[in-house]
Amino acid sequence: MIEFVPVSEKNIFAVRASGKLTDADYQQFLPRLQKLIEDCGPISLMIELVDFQGWEPKAAWDDFRFGMEHDKDFVRIAIVGQKAWQKWMSAIGDAFTLTKIRFFYQNRIQDAWDWLRKGDEDQLSAITSTEELLKEAPDAYRNILVALDFTPHSQKVLARALELVHHYKAKLSLIHAVENTFYPDLGNDLAMYDPAEFVELDQKRHDRAVMLLDKLARELDYPDVQHEVIWGGPNSAILSYAEAQKADLIVVGSHGKHGIARLLGSTAAAVVHNARCDVMVVRLPDQ
């Protein structure tokens, strides 16, 4: 059975568990515990095990599930018992939850109380550091650069970026890089191919990209948008444009390929490693 023990400490409660715990015990105990959490916020709990013989399977599940669902609702849990296996159970609970759980042997119950009272410090230090963090909050993004490769998934990259652009009311830059087609220098042997054809083809790709970006920018109907098609490889194009335009956030997609590129995608990896501003990588389905 589980019974509450009266305690006159703020946000610290105590229960005594004895015998083999059943589902019925939990059906009585958990709603009361839930109510305490709702009324008081995060609480600390002293659990005293007296002639404790474990759980029936369903009760063990009740215990585990409640613990997982309310991980953030407990500051500290002290378990006071007599047996080594109870100590091990406490250590396992501690490892699997955010709550600090510690076991004390019965003859050290006073230490358990002292330790529970220090729970306030945990909360205090969490609050202090949150305040510190807020003070350190970085400036809002003012100039967001989105690199688009015009693959079908680039819509997702753009959609993600737009959320931020609207949120920060930032300037939006859309860019696409067009790389010159590589063709080997075969000297004067023009019988095989004419380099001018490649140049013409590249120019067509460039023109088409200009047309697409132009259309996209108009359709976005956002007051502060600029767009540019840049000659060159995407990595250097994105990085140098970001630098020149003082972008404070670059948004790229990532398909994931191989090596480190498997995690980020090759362009994304290059941008993350070399950009001097923040980079947001939008995960796209593998190609």
Residue 239 in the binding site for ligand AMP (CB under 6 A): no
Torsion of CA 24, 30, 32, 38, to 10 degrees: -160
**Closest by CA position to 59, among listed 35, 89, 80, 28:** 28
Cβ 149 vs Cβ 253: under 8 Å? yes
Beta-ladder partners of 21: 55
- Kindly state the tokens that stand for 238: 């994105």
Q: Which is nearer to ligand AMP, 171 or 176 (CB)?
A: 176
Q: Which helix (H) or strand (E) holds 105?
A: strand 100-105
How many residues sit in the footprint of ligand AMP (CB under 6 A)?
17
Q: Which is nearer to ligand AMP, 76 or 227 (CB)?
A: 227
Residue 173 in the binding site for ligand AMP (CB under 6 A): no
| Rounded least distance, CB 165 to ligand AMP, Å | 15
Q: Which is nearer to ligand AMP, 42 or 233 (CB)?
A: 233
Residue 46 in the binding site for ligand AMP (CB under 6 A): no
Cβ 16 vs Cβ 5: under 8 Å? yes
Q: Which of 80, 148, 165, 279 binds ligand AMP (CB under 6 A)?
A: 148
For 61, residues 6+ apart whose C-beta sits below 8 A from its C-beta are none
Please give the residues from 195 up to 234 whose contact with ligand AMP meets the rule CB under 6 A: 234
Residue 119 in the binding site for ligand AMP (CB under 6 A): no
Cβ 51 vs Cβ 19: under 8 Å? yes
Residue 45 in the binding site for ligand AMP (CB under 6 A): no
Stretch of residues binding ligand AMP (CB under 6 A), selected from 3-11, 71-79, 142-150, 160-168: 142-150
Diameter of the chain measured on Cα atoms: 97
Q: Which of 157, 161, 172, 275 binds ligand AMP (CB under 6 A)?
A: 157
Cβ 186 vs Cβ 192: under 8 Å? yes
Contact track, ligand AMP, 244-273, x by CB under 6 A: --------xxxx---------xxxx-----
Residue 144 in the binding site for ligand AMP (CB under 6 A): no
Cα separation, 254 vs 286, in Å, equals 8
Cβ 216 vs Cβ 247: under 8 Å? no
| Rounded least distance, CB 267 to ligand AMP, Å | 3
Q: Which is nearer to ligand AMP, 190 or 260 (CB)?
A: 260
Footprint on this chain of ligand AMP (rule: CB under 6 A): 147-149, 154, 157, 175-177, 234, 252-255, 265-268
